[in-house]
């Protein structure tokens, strides 16, 4: 009888060690989602209470501008010109459904390595915070950040948008280049 574990069982044991499962997954994802939402909502509160409504404030030689805006569309105002009914269906109803599925998957079913778990938690946290804005502010999201050099500038965005973009890029890069496991 061979006492050495097979390569399949060693690989499965390694995958089990590498994955964040159960209570750890729930705690890590929950903390990241809550922290992301708290940071975003806190900065939006500061923007609402301290930024002028029509004049941007410039920093670092105009590299960064703080400018209050209420965005009825998605990232960088995509879809802002859609009829209000369609914006509600897509940006509130559709996004709520996608985020509910993603968040339940993250908290209860995902067996992911730490980096993809962190990445998807950032996407969920940012998305949930922007969804909260849409519900509370009549379909609008509070934006206040703009960066660029001269005429080359981003649109106005917020901390939740940064979390969503960072999470998406982190997820894409974490899944790139890994060798496929043979079956």
Residue partners of 151: CB distance under 8 A and separation at least 6: none
* Catalytic residue (one of 2, 40, 62, 161): 161
Please say if 161 is a catalytic residue: yes
pTM, two decimals, is 0.83
* Catalytic residue (one of 18, 40, 133, 143): 143
pLDDT in tens, the chain (183 residues): 555 666 666 665 555 555 667 888 899 999 999 999 999 999 999 999 999 998 999 999 999 999 999 999 887 778 888 999 999 999 999 999 999 999 999 998 888 889 999 999 999 999 999 999 999 999 999 999 999 998 999 989 999 999 999 999 999 999 876 555 544
User: 126 and 39 in contact (C-beta within 8 Å)?
Assistant: no
- H-only helix segments in the chain: 7-18, 22-50, 84-87, 95-104, 114-136, 159-175
């Amino acid at each position: 009888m061979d006492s050495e574990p097979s390569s399949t069982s060693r690989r499965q044991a390694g995958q089990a060690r590498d994955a964040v499962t159960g209570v750890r997954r729930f705690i890590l994802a929950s903390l990241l989602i809550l922290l992301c939402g708290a940071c975003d909502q806190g900065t939006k509160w500061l923007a609402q209470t301290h930024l002028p409504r029509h004049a941007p404030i410039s920093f670092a030689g105009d590299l960064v501008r703080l400018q209050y805006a209420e965005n009825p569309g998605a990232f960088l105002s995509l879809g802002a010109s859609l009829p209000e009914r369609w914006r509600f269906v897509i940006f509130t109803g559709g996004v709520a459904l996608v985020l509910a599925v993603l968040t339940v998957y993250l908290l209860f079913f995902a067996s992911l390595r730490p980096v993809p778990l962190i990445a998807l938690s950032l996407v969920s946290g940012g998305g949930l915070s922007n969804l909260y804005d849409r519900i509370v502010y009549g379909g609008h999201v509070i934006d206040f950040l703009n960066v660029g050099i001269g005429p080359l500038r981003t649109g106005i965005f917020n901390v939740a948008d940064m979390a969503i973009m960072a999470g998406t890029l982190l997820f894409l890069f974490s899944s790139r280049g890994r060798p496929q496991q043979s079956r």
